[in-house]
Amino acid sequence: MSGYDHDLFVIGAGSGGVRASRIAAGHGANVGVAEEFRVGGTCVIRGCVPKKLLVYGAHFAEDLVDAKRFGWQIDSRQFAWPVLRDNVLAEVDRLNGIYHETLENHKVKLYPSRATFIDAHTLDVGGERVTARHILVATGARPLVPDLPGAEFGITSNEVFHLEALPKRLVIAGGGYIANEFAGVFNEFGVDVTLINRSADILRSWDPALRDRLLQISLAKGINFKFNCSFERIEKTDAGLRIHLKEGDPIETDMLLWAVGRRPNVEGLGLDAAGVALNEMGAIAVNEDSATNVDNIHAVGDVTDRIQLTPIAIREGHAFADSIFGNKPWRVDYNCVPSAVFSNPPLGSVGMTEAQARNKLGQVKVFTSDFRPMRNVLAGRNERALYKLIVDASTDRVVGAHMIGPDAPEVLQAVAIAIKAGLTKAQFDDTVALHPTMSEELVLMR
């Protein structure tokens, strides 16, 4: 081990850090990992996993209504937030335990403390001096809370899973992934939700037709939207919170949720002491091999702000560990990364949007299917799904798929394989439909 305490020291036991630790240890490295909070990271502890469970919980509100049309008589419909909350938190505890076991099984030494660089090979880990040949920064990101008076009266996605009780009224600041996901969830729980965004659009990077469909369905479900609004200050009142906007009258609410983006966790790590450089976005600057400007220091996941998605952090951690410790160098391919918003209904997307394809390829063909899912028809629910395929007119290759509707993310993952593999529209059409499904629309668009 050439005089170091560890071959690899990882700062942060989230998705990227745990994967890198486990793979490096599997290649025979002596690995230490520091985690100041809970092993598992944002995704497991206060992100994807508990959020998805809340999405499932919320959907019962509509399912129980729709059930009547399918012959089920449900006499009382009552929702107990504490039951769902506690069950979700217990599941998070279970997964946290599994992550601990993974580290133990791979003989990774866990330091339950904060780690700070003393120099490029030395860290202060909870008062202990620890040295390592390689160091991986995988500290993730945290919700951005804007710098304005009273901002501290708002909560973030970190706190939202622990609420004592549901508010009657909720204002959500932002119009991105987190804002739309929690708007859908809390609306189903009967909370009066208002989403306020600074621009004129929700989900700015998404296909406009899908965004518009989500907006129209959300409005029909009773979610309120205010666009082109900026927050001025938040005032605490006897009744709750008063939100002062730069435009228009103040808004009274019981709770405010900040969902205006996430910032890389670079502060307080002593990156200066190690000489690690940041990029213009304030994230750790890395190359395609996740290497920083300092030879023995790498960084993966949200702290590098490439694509803020768990599977990307995991791949980056895996590629790093295989490349440095397994003599198997490889790089993450960021082409065709699928993504979903677990709004109600959810969205899924992979590849180029229509606008991106037109800019890049010139001639494109666009195929759409705008349909009412069978289940919604019988339920009397007037919600239409929309699928869109973007095709390169010169090669016939399908270069993008975008969909909104029930289970869209599940369908999207499968179609992402075809798009990543470079299949043509003719090959889609050549595939026999699986009837009756929603996904058969993918092979029936003419």
Q: Which residues bind ligand NDP (CB under 6 A)?
A: 146, 174-179, 181, 197-199, 201, 204, 259-262, 308-309, 339-342
C-alpha 398/C-alpha 240 separation (Å) is: 51
Report CA-CA distances (Å) from 219 to 223, 360, 384.
Answer: 5, 34, 14
Chain residue whose CB lies nearest ligand NDP: 176
Beta-strand relationship, 115-119 and 255-258: unpaired
**Shortest distance (Å) from residue 355 CB to ligand NDP:** 16
CB of 349 to ligand NDP, least distance (A): 11
Nearer to ligand NDP, 55 or 386 (CB): 55
Burial status of residue 19 (CB atoms within 10 A of its CB: 0-12, 13-18, 19 or more):
buried
14 or 176: whose CB is closer to ligand NDP? 176
Q: Please tell me whether residue 14 adopts helix, strand or coil conformation.
A: coil
Residue 305 tokens read as 């702000």
* H helix and E strand count, the chain: 12, 21
Question: Of 174 and 345, which has the nearer Cβ to ligand NDP?
Answer: 174
Min CB(214)–ligand NDP separation in Å:
13
> How far is 166 from 154, CA to CA, in rounded Å?
14
CA 18 to chain centre: 18
Do the beta carbons of residue 332 and residue 19 sit within 8 Å?
no
- What is the distance between the alpha carbons of residues 159 and 173, in angstroms, rounded to a whole number? 15
Q: Which of 37, 227 has the CB closer to ligand NDP?
A: 227
CB of 30 or CB of 310, closer to ligand NDP: 310
Shortest separation between residue 153's beta carbon and ligand NDP, angstroms:
16
Min dist CB 393 to ligand NDP, Å, is: 31
| Nearest approach, Cβ of residue 259 and ligand NDP (Å) | 5
Least distance from ligand NDP to the Cβ atom of residue 170, Å: 15
The set of catalytic residues is: 435
Tell me which amino acid residue 23 is.
I
For ligand NDP, the closer CB: 175 or 406: 175
In DSSP notation, 175-189 reads -SHHHHHHHHHHHHT
Question: If you search the block for the tokens 């100041």, which residue do you land on?
Answer: 36
Residue 9 or 342 with smaller CB distance to ligand NDP: 342
* CA nearest to 226, candidates 243, 209, 206, 205: 243
Beta strand pairing call for 255-258 and 262-264: unpaired
Beta-carbon neighbour count of residue 93 at 10 Å?
12
Shortest distance (Å) from residue 45 CB to ligand NDP: 14
Instruction: Answer whether the bond into residue 409 is a cis peptide, omega within 30°.
Output: no
Cβ 196 vs Cβ 226: under 8 Å: yes
- Kindly report the three-state secondary structure assignment for every residue of 52-65: HHHHHHHHHHHHHH
- CA distance between the termini of the chain: 62
Is 162 or 365 the residue whose CB approaches ligand NDP more closely? 162
